Chains A and B, each alone.
Chain A
């Protein structure tokens, strides 16, 4: 059991990293990685939302399947995830000021994050059970955090480098991201 969970963890974080292997959620990955602190907050918010969204969408999928309406998956998931994130934001704001300051500003940014939707759909496609879905969501979110915190270090280093004018900003960030992704491809050969 614990072995299975560990396998799922390593698979989600390293082998099938949501950003660096599945190429989902590139937008916040490039946009919010200017400093390690904001990157870590963004990562924490993604872990939180992915876990919740995995649980909620698993339930929705059961409802859709019972009516034979599997093709409404994408539409229904987007709606449910957006509503869920808004609800959670309201709830956190009321219940914990500290948590709201840490996560709150990043929550609206990931309402329609393709990484969240992508992981929910992957959960369904790989026919995971309820608990496995939640675990996979949390692990994938953690994988996102690892990727964005790693990348923020590279971004900070690049801000101090003498980069050719034409490559300043996004071009150099994309090249660096591709190199990090290439490094993560080394995990692809792992047999677990």
Chain B
């Protein structure tokens, strides 16, 4: 009886326990023998970085940059998404002066011609990618400079800061970390980095003449030069038929935003213009004017 118990239970138990213990001992010993010293600074630096692996620093990712910083091979101010906060954290870890990170930047899309405002020249049903769409007659937008809205920049953004709204790329200023990935991604070179403190911007990239722009899009710069005349500081000039703001002279007075007839100049402190409301108000004013004229005619008759 005892021997049956031994062979049926004890030997498999012993074998498995032996295997388990042997593997455990082997791994413990191996962990000691093959122990690799990891510089604690690398871990610390890595934790201070945002971890988006965007590659703006010029390294293959946050891990590679952390190693370079900890090894003293890279400057600590190369992480643009992390900004001054990350540079300060790294300067504390490394005991190096953070230095000047330069002005805070933000990416902006120089096109507002969404599905309701810009005309299409043909119906595109190909690959859902801006580069692919741009191959065919400069894209399906009637305006050759316009945003194609297939979201190549959305895919490029490591921070989820870009959305396609009404088939046009819209950047969330809060979420943008100014890494510049989208600038490289856009086949139309529509996205530019500007200083965050610049609150007005011409959101049109077409230097076509006014009648062509007007035929293609309801919100393009038609080259009317009203903004040039409205600017007291001489900050706006015309390049061809496109208004360009010189940010060295601009003081954010926003006079140009008021006078732009197509709302091509956007004030980034205010929400986007509600065009439906504006059209309704215009129609109402016109109706009131017509009614007033009618009443005048009536009064003159009687």
Contact = CB atoms under 8 A, between A and B. Distances in A.
Interface of A: 60, 63-64, 67, 69, 72, 75-76, 79-80, 82-83, 86-87, 90-91, 93-95, 160-162
B11 A83 contact: no
A80 B19 contact: yes
Contacts of A63: 15
Interface residues of B, number: 21
A69 B7 CA distance: 10
Contacts of B16: 72, 75-76, 79
A169 to B, nearest CB: 15
Given A67-B15, A79-B23, A95-B34, 17 more contacts: A63-B15, A67-B11, A69-B12, A72-B12, A76-B19, A79-B19, A80-B19, A83-B23, A83-B26, A83-B27, A86-B27, A90-B27, A90-B31, A90-B34, A93-B36, A94-B34, A162-B128
B5 interface: no
A87 B127 contact: no
Majority secondary structure of chain B interface residues (helix, strand, loop or mixed): helix
A80 B23 contact: yes
Contact of A69 (B11, B35, B36, B132): B11
Interface of B: 11-12, 15-16, 19-20, 23-24, 26-27, 30-31, 33-36, 125, 127-129, 132
A160 B129 contact: yes
A139 B223 CA distance: 69
Given A91-B30, A93-B36, A162-B127, A76 B23 contact: no
Nearest to B31: A90
Contacts of A80: 19, 23
Given A75-B16, A160-B129, A162-B128, A90 B11 contact: no
Contacts of B132: 160
Contacts of A72: 12, 15-16
